[in-house]
Amino acid sequence: MTVSHKTGISLRTQLYSLVIGIALVTFIGASWVSVDTTRTYLNEQMQSHAQDAATSVGLSISPYMDDENLMIVETMIVAIFDSGYYQKVSLTDLDDKVIVSYENNRVIDGVPSWFINLFELTPPIMSSEVNNGWNIGGILSFQSHVGSSYIKLWQHAVNNFFSTLVIALFSFFVAHLILRSVLNPLSQVEAQANAVSKKDFTFIEKLPMTRELKAVIKAMNIMVSNIQASFDLASKQANKLTKELFIDELTQLGNRRAFQSQFKIAVDEMQANEYATLGLVQLHSLQSINTDLGYKAGDDYVCQAAQLITKQLSAFSGAKLYRVNGGSFFFTLNSVGEDVISFCKQINNEFELLNSQYYKAGFGKLVATTYNNDEDLSELLAKLDTLLTQESSATSLGNVYNDNNSQTSYGLHEWSKIIDDLVTTNHIEFTFQPVVSTAAENSDSVANNSTNDDGVLYYELFSKFLNNNEVVANNQLYSMAERTNKSQELDKLVLNKLAHLTDISLDSKIAINLTHQSLHSTGFRHWLASFIEENKSNLPRLVFEINEEAILAGVVSSIHFIQTVKSLGIEVCIDRFGASFTSFKYLKGLDVDYLKIDGAYIHELELHSENKHFIQAVTQIGHGVGIKILTSHVESLETKQLLSDLDCDGLQGNFIQKTLTLKVKDTNLGCIYSPITVS
């Protein structure tokens, strides 16, 4: 599954190989030519040396060539021969009869035999006629000894080797400096391009001296500057739209519209057996404070309450707080039961401690109720109003929490045991829903009900955990898993189960959702790397969907995690993008592949033109940095067409295809995009 981003041979390697190759060829060639030239010179010197000896000795022995003086001739020849500079000397008569002959052993010390064999010296035998009066008395021949010549040749070769080596090393060092001055800027350009592809806009500050490279780097810096400017402009526009649409100006919390949109989406995503909590906080003294002390005091009152509630809600994963008007706040929790009851009592106790004459109607009141996907928002608000008007609800002893859920009796200990049992039994079922390419959704193949996977960007997999053959409510399960620090175990359980679904084609691309703890755990990263390596032959291509709120909890940690999973060949999608109503500048440095816009912006899109402008701004942001924009909760043809016109890349929702149960070996689930390709 590992993907390599570096293919081929680098320019640095090629250039250095070329320089080293040229240096070696030049070094070897120069050394060879120098030694061979010296060898030719020494051969010529030995030829001249032998000829001179033959001529001079021949003249010296001419007066003694008669039979009576041959001893003198031999003595004179021996005296010359014993000098050691000659390999062979001989004196013959005209009939080639040897008169005098001497020869030295060819012993050469201090010169390697391979060198002698490689550079062979061939001294010629030089002759001179010796006269006896007016007649030719004989032929005197000399051959020079190669020993001293080989020593000189070897010494020359050694000296030439080291001198040439020093020159070659110096030349290579100079070439290295030149290449570095050229290649380092190119490496910076490569790093800059890679950084831009990872949504990190970096500039090269130091410009090289080379004119062409300087021009390239200036052009790259201008390009990056333009991309960043476009990114910042689109981010600013999107942030402005978000604040205008969904943010309360005073508290910077979500407003009524944000509450209604996100509540509707949350209810749509709930399973039949899931329950959550909706709470209401009312500041009854706000009107009197505004009247008696002014609106500034009233604003301080509202902000104090918002900070107090936000601080207490931080203990619950996924909790959200909204200011819907004046002194009214709504909050939602994925949790139900004893923990929520304790939370409600604690908030009301803190409100009571803040009661004083300053707050004529009390600091505030909190009430809450559970709900599931069968209940209407207006009915829930009526329940909260009823609880709020009860006199007993103003105290911590009153009935401030309406509980309709049979599982609220579970405490942390019981949930911890349930999670442990799930990990042990491995009882998981999967449902799935495709994310379909907008281009494919609009193509003729879709109109003709084609059943191939070509138009599917990926399949999102949803987990259903079974405990004692009963489906466990996912929202409560994951909420409690976060609180018991066991959500990583659930992620590992899902991945292990997926690795054993061997009937799923490895060509399919499967997305699973990761929890907050797994995202920010270094231990999970190490486990994941080992898991992928061990199961790469059993796993399909993977996409990790990560909630935007989890990323914002630690952007630096998220960057490290994303770098790890990308090196493993896993793609990354930011889920519920825009739900946090925060600045989108956090995308810089996040090497993600997809952004899935929060369903609150998609719900009833045809009725809210402001949402269209937001989606268009997000599309510009994503496409400007190479990210595909996905949308969920597509529930109508009008919404699909609008999203297509807004250049979104992928669509997901019940109008595209409803969520289906994954049945192993079932290749015909009865709708266009239903099959996760099986082998």
Q: How far apart are the first and last CA of the chain?
A: 19
Long-range contacts of 533-540 (CB under 8 A, 24+ apart): 535/499, 536/1, 536/2, 538/499, 538/500, 538/502, 539/1, 539/498, 539/499, 539/506, 540/498, 540/504, 540/505, 540/506, 540/507, 540/508, 540/509, 540/510
pLDDT for residue 668: 37
CA distances from residue 122 to 42, 46, 84, 132, 445 in whole angstroms, order as listed: 9, 9, 17, 32, 86
Domains in the chain, start-ordered, CATH in brackets?
A: 11-169 (3.30.450), 276-402 (3.30.70.270), 412-661 (3.20.20.450)
Averaged over 97-105, what is the pLDDT?
A: 85
Residue 323 pLDDT: 96
Q: What angle do CA 605, 608, 611 make, to 5 degrees?
A: 75
Q: Of the given ranges (339-353, 412-426, 556-570), which has the lowest mean pLDDT?
A: 412-426
Backbone angles phi, psi at 588, to 5 degrees: -60, 125
Reported as a pLDDT band with limits 50, 70 and 90, residue 399 is low
Q: Please tell me the predicted confidence (pLDDT) of residue 282.
A: 93
The per-residue pLDDT for range 55-76, each reduced to its tens digit, is 888 888 888 887 778 788 888 8
Read off the pLDDT of residues 491-525 as tens digits, 9 standing for 90 and up. 999 999 999 886 677 788 999 999 999 999 999 99
Q: How much is the pTM?
A: 0.71
Residue 107 confidence class, pLDDT cut points 50, 70, 90: low
Q: Is the per-residue pLDDT at 568 higher than 60?
A: yes
Is the pLDDT confidence value at 289 over 90?
Answer: yes
Residue 82 neighbours by CB under 8 Å, 6+ apart: none
Average pLDDT rounded to a whole number, residues 458-467: 91
pLDDT band at 387 (very low <50, low <70, confident <90, very high): confident
